[in-house]
Amino acid sequence: MWEISHNQNLKGQVAIVTGATRGIGAACARALARSGCHIVIIDILSAEEIAKAIESEFPDIRALAMQVDIRKKEEVQKAVSETVQRLGRIDILVNNAGTVSRLGLEEMNVEDWQRDIDTNLLGTFLFMQAVIYPHMKSQGYGKIINISSISGIIGGVMSALPGSNGGRSGPAYSASKGGVIALTKWIAKEVGEHGIYCNSIAPGSVVTALTKGVNYPLDGQPIKRMGDPEDIAEAVVFLASPASNYVTGQVLKVCGGLAIG
Contacting ligand NAD (CB under 6 A), which of 98, 156, 167, 178? Answer: 98
Query: Per residue, what are the HEC states of 155-220?
Result: CCCCCECCCCCCCCCCHHHHHHHHHHHHHHHHHHHHHHHHCEEEEEEEECCECCHHHCCCECCCCC
**What is the nearest approach in angstroms of ligand NAD to the Cβ of residue 135?**
20
Given 13, 35, 96, 199, the residue binding ligand NAD (CB under 6 A): 96
Write down the least CB distance from residue 42 to ligand NAD, Å.
6
For residue 110, state whether it binds ligand NAD (rule: CB under 6 A): no
Q: Does the protein bind ligand NAD through residue 40 (CB under 6 A)?
A: no
The phi and psi torsions of 40 (rounded to 5 degrees) equal -115, 120
Which of 21, 159, 174, 184 lies at the binding interface for ligand NAD (CB under 6 A)? 21
| ∠ Cα 69 70 76 (to 5°) | 100
Query: Closer to ligand NAD at the Cβ: 142 or 203?
Result: 203
Among 38-46, 76-84, 103-111, 131-139, the segment contacting ligand NAD (CB under 6 A): 38-46
133 is known as an active-site residue: no
Query: How far apart (Å, rounded) are the C-alpha atoms in residues 143 and 13?
Result: 11
User: Between residue 125 and residue 164, which ones bind ligand NAD under the rule CB under 6 A?
Assistant: 147, 149
Q: What is the CA radius of gyration of the chain?
A: 18
Candidates 1-9, 76-84, 97-105, 192-200 — which segment interacts with ligand NAD by CB under 6 A? Answer: 97-105
Torsion sign (Cα): 99, 230, 208, 55: negative
Task: Please state the closest distance from residue 79 (CB atom) to ligand NAD, in A.
Answer: 10
Restricted to residues 200-229, the positions that interact with ligand NAD (CB under 6 A) are 203, 205-206, 208-211
Q: Which is nearer to ligand NAD, 13 or 101 (CB)?
A: 101
Q: Which of 28, 136, 155, 153 is nearest to 89 (CA)?
A: 136
Contact 95, 122 (CB under 8 A): no
Q: Which stretch binds ligand NAD (CB under 6 A): 13-21, 55-63, 185-193, 237-245?
A: 13-21
- C-alpha dihedral sign at 11, 181, 235, 226: positive
d(Cα 186, Cα 213) in Å, to the nearest integer?
Answer: 35
* Residue among 173, 197, 216, 246 flagged as catalytic: 173
Residue whose CB is less far from ligand NAD, 4 or 209 = 209
- Backbone φ, ψ for residue 22 (5° rounding): -155, 180
Where on the chain is the footprint of ligand NAD (CB under 6 A)?
A: 18-19, 21-25, 43-45, 68-71, 96-100, 119, 147, 149, 203, 205-206, 208-211
Q: Which residues are part of the catalytic machinery?
A: 173
